[in-house]
Amino acid sequence: MTETPPLLPLLYEDVVRRALLEDLGRVGDITTDAIVPADRTARAVILARAAGRIAGVEPALHAFRLLDPRCRVDVRLRDGGDAAAGAVVARVEATARAVLAAERTALNLLGHLSGIATATRDVVARLRGLETRVADTRKTTPGLRALEKHAVRAGGGSSHRYGLDDAVLVKDNHVTLAGGIAEAVRRVRGSVGHMVKVEVEVETLSQLDEALAAGAEAVLLDNMDLPTLREAVRRARGRAVTEASGGIRPENVREVAEAGVDLVSLGWLTHSAPALDVALDVEA
Amino acid sequence: MTETPPLLPLLYEDVVRRALLEDLGRVGDITTDAIVPADRTARAVILARAAGRIAGVEPALHAFRLLDPRCRVDVRLRDGGDAAAGAVVARVEATARAVLAAERTALNLLGHLSGIATATRDVVARLRGLETRVADTRKTTPGLRALEKHAVRAGGGSSHRYGLDDAVLVKDNHVTLAGGIAEAVRRVRGSVGHMVKVEVEVETLSQLDEALAAGAEAVLLDNMDLPTLREAVRRARGRAVTEASGGIRPENVREVAEAGVDLVSLGWLTHSAPALDVALDVEA
Amino acid sequence: MTETPPLLPLLYEDVVRRALLEDLGRVGDITTDAIVPADRTARAVILARAAGRIAGVEPALHAFRLLDPRCRVDVRLRDGGDAAAGAVVARVEATARAVLAAERTALNLLGHLSGIATATRDVVARLRGLETRVADTRKTTPGLRALEKHAVRAGGGSSHRYGLDDAVLVKDNHVTLAGGIAEAVRRVRGSVGHMVKVEVEVETLSQLDEALAAGAEAVLLDNMDLPTLREAVRRARGRAVTEASGGIRPENVREVAEAGVDLVSLGWLTHSAPALDVALDVEA
Amino acid sequence: MTETPPLLPLLYEDVVRRALLEDLGRVGDITTDAIVPADRTARAVILARAAGRIAGVEPALHAFRLLDPRCRVDVRLRDGGDAAAGAVVARVEATARAVLAAERTALNLLGHLSGIATATRDVVARLRGLETRVADTRKTTPGLRALEKHAVRAGGGSSHRYGLDDAVLVKDNHVTLAGGIAEAVRRVRGSVGHMVKVEVEVETLSQLDEALAAGAEAVLLDNMDLPTLREAVRRARGRAVTEASGGIRPENVREVAEAGVDLVSLGWLTHSAPALDVALDVEA
Amino acid sequence: MTETPPLLPLLYEDVVRRALLEDLGRVGDITTDAIVPADRTARAVILARAAGRIAGVEPALHAFRLLDPRCRVDVRLRDGGDAAAGAVVARVEATARAVLAAERTALNLLGHLSGIATATRDVVARLRGLETRVADTRKTTPGLRALEKHAVRAGGGSSHRYGLDDAVLVKDNHVTLAGGIAEAVRRVRGSVGHMVKVEVEVETLSQLDEALAAGAEAVLLDNMDLPTLREAVRRARGRAVTEASGGIRPENVREVAEAGVDLVSLGWLTHSAPALDVALDVEA
Amino acid sequence: MTETPPLLPLLYEDVVRRALLEDLGRVGDITTDAIVPADRTARAVILARAAGRIAGVEPALHAFRLLDPRCRVDVRLRDGGDAAAGAVVARVEATARAVLAAERTALNLLGHLSGIATATRDVVARLRGLETRVADTRKTTPGLRALEKHAVRAGGGSSHRYGLDDAVLVKDNHVTLAGGIAEAVRRVRGSVGHMVKVEVEVETLSQLDEALAAGAEAVLLDNMDLPTLREAVRRARGRAVTEASGGIRPENVREVAEAGVDLVSLGWLTHSAPALDVALDVEA
């Protein structure tokens, strides 16, 4: 367990701001405003109610900072850290109104991202002893890709491409439209720069051979049965990075990895992992 | 199964735009741009791979419209409709580049929202024969609250307040800071307008009595055991709407509802429901 | 006279920023830049030239903070406070350039919002001894609704709904399209959540009876003559909140209120109240 | 009465969008959505209930276009046109939901801007037979300056500078900080480009002489009594444009103008003119 | 050489933020994040590698502040200052990650704007002993107009109008559409306010006479040969500001100026001046 | 000469919109509005006054579309096409006001981007017969990176990484902070995903050997003299892509390329290439 380099606040502050404004609406927390004097301060503790891998601490705390620039925070668990059930993630001291108005936004961020980190950690744990890395996909929640991929890294996972523009992935539709894998790769290579890697998605061994011959630097082995997958790994060894994908869940990830692939990628990590249960308590 | 009134595009177009830009990055789909001629058009079908309740069709299709304003769509299942596994949700005809570049954004939206609608539908189904309604919470994914609450409605659920400003929910921290339920409600009533409802969260029957005496229009019965819950419902009948909340999952929702509450609310619907498996196929 | 809980700066800072940028244009205050050295500081006092109720102090001061983050302010009258003619509202110390460049934006905000607060205060004063509250409407200046409704509260008024999404108001067009008040209310009740109040606009006593029978929680009595209004209040007593609206001005507000309604609502407060005369003096 | 060249929609569409979103909130018009089927269309007429000069027709109609891009409009009175009480300003045909959801935003814009145009027209009318023009100021409503100055033009008025960057106005604080009018003007002239006009605010005749000697192209005669004003006009004739300002209201504008100034400027036009009463009727 | 009044940060902070985000992309500086610990600080010096006039120091330093709000800067050369080759412009102390991630953005801003200032300075120097001023145009880089015109001023140049709305320039197309210079000027004068100057572009002496007769306050003498230019200056003297424009480059600027015009304007300053070579060194 | 795949409008429309608004200011083209009737249409031709390679046609035309959605365009030269002096790039038919108000924005975009494309084309032409490709850098104009890199491709060049997040470039500061090239590369490889390429900047042959041994996929040979460069190419052959950079200008690019490197990269292309002279003529 090691810390994961945090994202620059500039990269997520608009996400936090929008999330806060979405909760505050036009006039903010009418319950708290009616009850709590403006000059009252409060101390609160943010906890993990269930055990899990933490991610999103800084974005979550940013919600309090946006409502009270003078708030003070004490971070006890950084992204990539493991929380036992009941563990303190951070303490916050701010105006009572800021604490109560930012609470839900902060928890929604922390719970969602820690849920992804925890799910990733659990998948990574299932591969103990193997070289295979666990990668994310582009199947992320709209608006949260950078934070979700960060959460996957906090869980011990590895990042696949961030979007459509930073790496090439030639898929079946591209092959069909180009008239073959070789031609598709040729067109791509003539178009993209020297810092761009090219991966080709293949479903069969003959497609794999074609991709390797065309110079693919990585191959996405899509939905192959285990014997085929093993043979694919054998053929690609030393020639291209191998990635297994398609229908991989925690339950079957180890048998897929044992086929020898360099990576397994799971959309499930970002589109379906349940949130980690986190809470905020105002201290007496 | 009935259609759910769609949100106005003005309310979600920025969400879709941001999601697209997040995927396109600086220069867009470099794979497709290298392979597919600019003037090529394509027809695609959007499918549910698994059975489920559909939500988010219009936001998903908006992704294609943003990349090709002349794209044509044929919607086969509207929000609130049920898809069998393999069912066609919509057909799209647009430039091939637009189809491929918008695909992932559209599917991420549709899969996420349909996942919530499906989970809601399943919870609602468990309450068949009861009057109890299923409500959402503010435990939503940052940036997507309006769409997620819409998805809950598409699943047959009911909306709790949209944020901190459109209704009052007096919680334990408010009661502590005000020095009692009666005083908290009094302050709120003196502050908010006549169109704002006041709900009070209670954990015990004596708190409930205090809330009812103070004139709460709704009471959130938090984490009560079933006998207490039944007694609470009895006391509140005809005086306030009753909502059970706290730790409710699909597995235990019916026994909670059978205590006679008007509503059960589940954060799980929006923070932990798995995505529905949806896909896009380019047609030959 | 009591202070009104201030809005969170996050809710208005974009309004202030846009107002400043609108005045600064592309290159800012060319007069001041040419004349005043960059390192010169200035102290200024913000005054009410005419007597009135103050609102918008914090948004006004935010204009100085945006141009000089190190500016110091001393607030002498908070929102909800009453200024005599010539009274000091606040003192500001900042770079002379910031003071002069932010002056007009700050005064425009303060004068506009204090004008609304003053008008509201005056209407409220006319109802002394009555229970009737004074409410605002949605007839607000585009872009300023949250601030204007805040100014009404600072004037002693009460907030009607903030927009189209946080409460139901069934109006004549809805009744026509639904085919009757009962059907309109039935549809709404089946659609909105339990935290949403339902008000029905009525013009006649028979419409009122229909609305009450349908379970309206509030009735907007539109443009009724005084005898009808009195009868309407009698019928609605104990069954629904009564609101008189339509053509109410300071001149006739008391006679309307004396009919016994719970609220009178006046669009005039926000669309036609004159600004309060405020000024900034740079101190020697 | 002539038409005023309309502003480009690009210059106000964000104002309209923000105003709409401010009214729609998170989920839009919940009353209408519950009652009116999505496919229902409606025809509506926008009327002036009181007589007045119209301004803001296109921004108002833009609200309908944003909610229903296929809406059809028939404009009967353009900006700068005069409406009798009851006159039709425009007709709109759109989905019933768009008509009802955009109604208030459209009317708020139209009523506010037409109120300014009407007030300006009335002041202009009081100067019939004189050469004096009526000008606006920078005392505008935050966020609406371009539209409000457009409304002044629609009322027959003339635009003063749009902001701090497009013309020079040397005021008392500048003179103090520079150590005299001559020095202030000298610094400004050395700094700004050849397309920028320089106006100097003066309160006395000796200040006027100093400003004229310094080469001011316009002089703002601030709060002068009528004899002084007449003398100031005499001295400035042929040397600088003369503008009277300070405390000018409809009641006294003619006597000020009769002193012979080229312009009178009134903050009142934009900060205190009451809205024109406008309405929307859905047609059977 | 004197300092140029800096622009208010509010006017350029969005430009800097966008430039940074454009470089950081979705997840920031992956090289630095992998190599440099988060708590490491660094000191860096920003240098001019070539001699030149400096502009854009504050916007450049703003890039570091956006990534590390606690960064400390020591400015050694302000805008308008001259750097020898190798001169230190500023020193920065911040987290090492902020220094490395903001470096390129800061240098791109500083190099671009200092390139414009240097080019302007060089043109100004060629006119030593003449009264003619050097002005910019609207031929600026999209998105950077305010900063580029500021750089021209830092180079000793003068600002032409900032855009289409702050001054009138009647060009050939306007004359054609109006049916003559006199009519064009008449229409403009009747439309714009008293603070707006009117310049007319002319290509011949007879057009010049027409413009002067119509009351043009400035004349843009477009692409005239030198004898014509001299005659034009003679005719306009005391009647209008004279500006020569069209095809003026550093090589021929002096002979144009010697014709006696008040201003020469060069689009070249902002659309084609090469960047100044600037660099950042991390100190041991 | 072939066409370059155009960027999606979604990727540049905000750049164009901001550029237009920067020129239009608060109220738009006051000259044109005063002179040209709103209903007048105009036809215009966009020309290259000098010969060059065209880039930015679609963004330029987008300016007209934003002001007149019904404008019609006829594109005669697409990005990547070569214009002779005087060649027609496109024809536009729109309202006369839209044509004149968008003219400068459109030309600024087209001239700037075509200048870059032309400069790139000229450098590429100097390498005729060699395999070496010409690449851009991150030394781009703030806010315009995607468009400028697109222009480089239109000139026949190749894209280096788009920013800090899509590829790794280990530079001297990283090596110093990591304590060696090997360690720097090791840390990077352990951190970034499998789709990210790693390039190392080296200044000496021993650094090169270290980079190759560490597994760098590309090496940036910084400011090497020609004999060293040739030796570096020899050593790297078959092991890593070789890129020469540092002080390369059109004058010396061929001799650098003849050393055998795979790429030469020039910041000059984007930070110092002069604009192409383009113009718009309104047709009679």
d(CA C157, CA C133): 7
Distance from CA of E67 to the nearest CA of A (A): 7
Is the per-residue pLDDT at B1 higher than 60? no
User: D92-145: per-residue pLDDT in tens?
Assistant: 999 999 999 999 999 999 999 999 999 999 999 999 999 999 999 999 999 999
d(CA E55, CA E33): 31
CB burial of A91-111 (b: ≥16 within 10 Å; e: otherwise) equals: ebbbbbbbbbbbbbbbbbbbb
Residues of D in CB contact (< 8 Å) with A are: 22, 25-26
Is the per-residue pLDDT at B49 higher than 80? yes
- Supply φ then ψ for residue A254, to 5 degrees: -70, -40
What average pLDDT values come out for chain F (284 residues) when binned by 10 residues? Answer: 80 98 97 94 97 98 97 97 98 97 98 98 98 98 98 97 97 93 96 96 98 98 97 97 95 97 98 97 85
User: A50-82: per-residue pLDDT in tens?
Assistant: 999 999 999 999 999 999 999 999 999 999 999
Is the per-residue pLDDT at A1 higher than 50? no
At B105 the three-state DSSP class reads helix
d(CA F107, CA B66): 26
d(CA C200, CA C219): 5
Look up the ipTM and state it: 0.97
Residues of A in CB contact (< 8 Å) with C are: 17, 20-21, 24-28, 33-34, 38, 66-67, 97, 101
- Determine the pLDDT at residue B283: 87
Is the per-residue pLDDT at A188 higher than 50? yes
Contacts of C134 (CB under 8 A, 6+ apart): C120, C123, C124, C127, C152, C156, C157, C158, C253, C263, C264, C265, C266, C269
Quickly count: other Cβ atoms within 10 Å of residue B241's Cβ.
18
Look over chain C and give the mean of its residue pLDDT values, rounded to a whole number: 96
Is the per-residue pLDDT at E1 higher than 80? no
Tokens coding A205: 């061994």
d(CA A205, CA A201): 11
Contacts of A284 (CB under 8 A, 6+ apart): none
- Supply φ then ψ for residue E273, to 5 degrees: -70, 135
Is the per-residue pLDDT at C122 higher than 80? yes
Answer whether A18's CB lies under 8 Å from A59's CB: no
* Percent of the residues in chain F that have a pLDDT greater than 70, as a whole number: 99
3-state helix, strand, coil split of chain B in percent (to 5) is 45, 20, 40
Amino acid at E262: D
CA C215 to chain CA centroid, nearest Å: 29
What band does C142 get if pLDDT is binned at 50, 70 and 90? very high
- Subunit contact D26:A25, Cβ cutoff 8 A: yes
What band does B2 get if pLDDT is binned at 50, 70 and 90? low
DSSP string, E202-253: ESSHHHHHHHHHHT-SEEEEES--HHHHHHHHHHHTTTSEEEEESS--TTTH
At D143 the three-state DSSP class reads coil
- Determine the pLDDT at residue B116: 98
At F11 the three-state DSSP class reads helix
Active-site residue among B201, B210, B243, B262?
B201
- Determine the pLDDT at residue F283: 87
At D253 the three-state DSSP class reads helix
Strands C72-75 and B82-83, by their bridges, are unpaired
Look over chain B and give the mean of its residue pLDDT values, rounded to a whole number: 96
- Determine the pLDDT at residue B12: 98
- Determine the pLDDT at residue C5: 82
Is the per-residue pLDDT at E2 higher than 70? no
Is the per-residue pLDDT at E6 higher than 90? no
- Kindly list the catalytic residues of A: 104, 139, 171, 201, 222
- Determine the pLDDT at residue D1: 44
Active-site residue among D17, D78, D171, D239?
D171
Mean pLDDT of A249-258: 96
- Is F26 annotated in the active site? no
What band does E284 get if pLDDT is binned at 50, 70 and 90? low
Is the per-residue pLDDT at D218 higher than 70? yes
- Is F222 annotated in the active site? yes
What band does C6 get if pLDDT is binned at 50, 70 and 90? confident
CA distances from B225 to A49, B171, B207, B231, B248 (A): 20, 19, 15, 10, 12
Strands F241-245 and F263-265, by their bridges, are parallel
Answer whether C196's CB lies under 8 Å from C215's CB: no
d(CA C277, CA E281): 55
Amino acid at D116: I
CB contacts of A40 in chain B (<8 Å) are 177
Answer whether D112's CB lies under 8 Å from D54's CB: no
User: C50-88: per-residue pLDDT in tens?
Assistant: 999 999 999 999 999 999 999 999 999 999 999 999 999
- Supply φ then ψ for residue C47, to 5 degrees: -125, 155
- Supply φ then ψ for residue D172, to 5 degrees: -55, -45
- Subunit contact C17:E10, Cβ cutoff 8 A: yes
Q: Rounded to two decimals, what is the model's pTM? A: 0.97
Running DSSP on this structure, what letter comes out for residue D259? T
Provide the greatest CA pair distance for chain E: 72
d(CA A34, CA B168): 10
Answer whether E37's CB lies under 8 Å from E50's CB: no
Question: What burial class does residue D264 get, using C-beta atoms within 10 Å of its C-beta: 0-12 exposed, 13-18 middle, 19+ buried?
Answer: buried
d(CA B246, CA B223): 5
Three-class SS of A134-176:
EECCCCCCCCCHHHHHHHHHHCCCECCCCCCCCCEEECHHHHH
d(CA F201, CA C29): 46
Nearest to residue E38, comparing CAs of E103, E106, E94, E111? Answer: E94
- Determine the pLDDT at residue D284: 66
Distance from CA of B256 to the nearest CA of A (A): 21
Which among E5, E6, E162 is the nearest to C26, CB-wise? E162
Answer whether E273's CB lies under 8 Å from E56's CB: no
Contacts of C194 (CB under 8 A, 6+ apart): B133, B135, B158, B160, B197, B218, B241, B243, B262, B263
Tokens coding C15: 């309004």
Sheet arrangement for strand B278-282: B72-75, B88-95, B41-48, B278-282
- Determine the pLDDT at residue E84: 98
What band does A223 get if pLDDT is binned at 50, 70 and 90? very high
- Is F171 annotated in the active site? yes
CA F63 to chain CA centroid, nearest Å: 20
Mean pLDDT of B57-76: 97
Is the per-residue pLDDT at B3 higher than 80? no
CB contacts of B184 in chain A (<8 Å) are 35
Residue at token pair 């220094």: E99
Q: How many degrees, rounded to 5, is the angle at CA C17 between CA F26 and CA E92? A: 110
* Chains in contact with B, counting 3 or more C-beta pairs less than 8 Å apart as contact: A, C, D, E, F
- Is B197 annotated in the active site? no
d(CA E203, CA E184): 16
DSSP string, F82-135: EE-TT-EEEEEEEEHHHHHHHHHHHHHHHHHHHHHHHHHHHHHHHTTTS-PEEE
CB contacts of F26 in chain C (<8 Å) are 22, 25
Answer whether C91's CB lies under 8 Å from C76's CB: yes
Locate the chain D residue with the closest alpha carbon to E134: D193
Sheet arrangement for strand B263-265: B133-135, B263-265, B241-245, B218-222, B198-202, B168-170
- Determine the pLDDT at residue D283: 87
Count each helix (H run) and each strand (E run) in chain D, helices first.
11, 12
CB contacts of E195 in chain D (<8 Å) are 159-161, 166-167, 197, 199, 218
Answer whether A265's CB lies under 8 Å from A222's CB: no
Strands B41-48 and C241-245, by their bridges, are unpaired
Contacts of F250 (CB under 8 A, 6+ apart): F119, F122, F123, F126, F268
What band does A2 get if pLDDT is binned at 50, 70 and 90? low
- Determine the pLDDT at residue B48: 98
- Supply φ then ψ for residue E42, to 5 degrees: -145, 150
Provide Rg for chain B, Cα atoms: 22
Nearest to residue D152, comparing CAs of D166, D165, D139? Answer: D139
